[in-house]
Amino acid sequence: MSTQVFKHKQGFELESGKKLRGLEIGYNTYGKLNANKDNVVWVCHALTANSDVFDWWKGLFGDNDYFNPDEHFIVCANILGSNYGTTSPLSTNPVTDLPYSAYRGVAHG
């Protein structure tokens, strides 16, 4: 399953009060949302993991496991700063056209 990307259209305000523009969140889904919309399982993960929960949480998530796509709509999104499809320090700032991690002195010589 390939990672999908949600693109947030407005600025995303951080704790510092600064706004992150062009926020993207990589995520994976498995299964289908039922008519009652009550079969969602949202999975949070550590910074070092990707959103492919079937890859790293075998035995709990999988085709024949407790949380399976036949019964559940499983969603796992990469956290902010992850290098698996979510905006991170390596992402390009759409305002400056430089990576978010670029220091002015380094980027401009």
Handedness of CA 21, 25, 26, 29 (dihedral sign): negative
Give the pTM.
Answer: 0.81
State yes or no: pLDDT of 37 exceeds 90. Answer: yes
Read off the pLDDT of residues 90-104 as tens digits, 9 standing for 90 and up: 899 888 898 888 655
pLDDT at 59: 93
The CB density around residue 32, as the number of other CB atoms within 10 Å, is 11
Read off the pLDDT of residues 47-71 as tens digits, 9 standing for 90 and up: 667 899 998 899 999 999 999 999 9
Least confident of 22-26, 27-31, 104-108: 104-108
User: What is 87-100 written as a DSSP string?
Assistant: --TTSBPTTTSSBT
pLDDT at 109: 41
User: What is 1-38 written as a DSSP string?
Assistant: -PPEEEE--S-EE-TTS-EESS-EEEEEEES---TTS-
Q: How far apart are CA 102 and CA 90, in angstroms?
A: 9
